[in-house]
Amino acid sequence: MEWSPTFECHVRPDGEHEYRIGHQLIDEFLEFVVGRARPNTVRAYAHDLSVFFTVVRKEPTEVRPKDVMSFVTAQRRPKSGAENVVRIADGSSGLSAATIKRRLAAVSSFYGYLITRDDVDVSANPVPRGIATRKSRSRGGRGLPLVRGVRRLPRILDADEVESLMGALRTERDRAMTQAMVLGGLRRCEVLGLRLGDLRLGEWRVLITEGKGGHERLVPLSPTFFATVARYMDRERPEEATTDLLFVSLKGPRRGQPLSVPGLDQIMSAARERAGLSHGTCHELRHTCFTRLREAGMAIEAIQAQAGHRSITSTRVYLHLDMHWLADEYRRAIEAIEAQATVGMAQ
């Protein structure tokens, strides 16, 4: 039976957002995910599943690998009227590989949920793990990925660019949020999720409760950040604010209410424009922080803990080490090795 998804969002009495797309199985999956994922993840699942079933136009129990492959092909096609437009990054048209992979991940998670439930006619996940090759068939591997993406690392800011960005910020609140990212490596959602009780003033540490995957961690942060927060609390934070979230709107109809993601993005975008910078997003500030910490001698295992990464491989991706720093580190190490090798040798 053919059906058409309808993306809907409702706010429950407890303030949580509830997403539905008009099919019982999918809506039950989204309700299940609410207790296991961050709000942004739930919204992305709902949107991506809506897109998938709009294209496939089949009941969930009727979807086969062929339908998934056709979906990938459709997503790679350029939009009507933009056939001659390609991305500079990878020379492709249509949606980016990252977007398509995210949508396939949502579909795969949904079918994993149905298989685990074991009460519907779904015995296998229709999203292939990869395209089989001779080697993968003989060794039991995944084969070639369905979507091959181009890995691009965000740019980092040098010291002068950081100084220019900080100088372009207009409030102590904005400076404190930026310092949390460039000095502490906090994610955007972690900055906005900070609560008054999360600040450990005597220890110069903050408790991160809004971490990726719902993980908590206690991390150190520069005294400079705490000094800026103190000025923000004394001079700028509205007295009428009732939320315990640290960063709130300072003016307009939302004065005293929690600052939103679009609000923070707008602040950073305006500051970059005033500073004459072409880059300097929240994520790039996080990359900048970890690269500078590593160049200053901080162990990569410590950076992993600071970043909240479960795998040290993720931490390595964040490091954009300067070639001069790398050369100096190599010379220092090789001189120590050669010095040890000559001990006891005849001169």
One digit per residue, the tens of pLDDT, for the chain of length 347 reads 567 888 888 877 766 778 899 999 999 999 998 878 778 888 999 999 999 999 999 999 999 999 999 998 898 887 665 444 444 444 455 678 888 889 999 999 999 999 999 888 888 999 888 666 555 555 555 666 777 666 666 688 999 999 999 999 999 999 999 999 999 999 999 999 999 999 998 899 999 987 776 678 999 999 999 999 999 999 999 999 999 999 999 999 999 999 999 999 999 999 999 999 999 999 999 989 988 888 888 888 888 889 888 887 777 776 766 666 667 767 777 677 677 665 444 44
Any idea of the CA torsion for 325, 327, 333, 339, to the nearest 10 degrees?
-130
Pair 23, 10: CB distance under 8 Å: no
CA 296, 312, 153, 210 torsion-angle sign: negative
**Contacts of residue 103, Cβ cutoff 8 Å, sequence gap at least 6:** 48, 51, 52, 71, 75
3-state secondary structure of 291: helix
Cα 207 from Cα 314, distance rounded (Å)? 21
Cα 166 from Cα 285, distance rounded (Å)? 12
Cα 233 from Cα 210, distance rounded (Å)? 21
Amino acid at 230: A
Using CA atoms, how far residue 134 sits from 66, 138, 146, 183, in Å, is 20, 6, 16, 48
Query: 8 forms bridges with which residues in the sheet?
Result: 20
Q: What are the start-end ranges of the H helices in 128-281?
A: 134-139, 159-168, 172-182, 188-192, 223-235, 261-275
Residue 203's Cβ-count burial label (10 Å; 0-12, 13-18, 19+) is: exposed
The domain spans of the chain are 8-139, 159-329
3-state secondary structure of 18: strand
Phi, psi of 291 (to 5 degrees): -65, -45
| b/e per residue 209-228 (b: at least 16 CB within 10 A) | ebbbeeeeeebebeeebbeb
Q: What are the start-end ranges of the H helices in the chain?
A: 24-34, 39-56, 65-76, 97-117, 134-139, 159-168, 172-182, 188-192, 223-235, 261-275, 282-295, 300-307, 312-317, 323-341
CA 122, 127, 133, 136 torsion-angle sign: negative
Cα 224 from Cα 232, distance rounded (Å)? 12
Cα 307 from Cα 185, distance rounded (Å)? 6
Residue with tokens 């998670």: 109
Instruction: Return the CATH number of the domain spanning residue range 159-329.
Output: 1.10.443.10
Of 146, 98, 158, 128, nearest to 280 by C-alpha is 158
Cα 247 from Cα 193, distance rounded (Å)? 8
Pair 178, 165: CB distance under 8 Å: yes
Phi, psi of 245 (to 5 degrees): -65, 140
pTM for this model (two decimals): 0.68
Cα 181 from Cα 334, distance rounded (Å)? 34
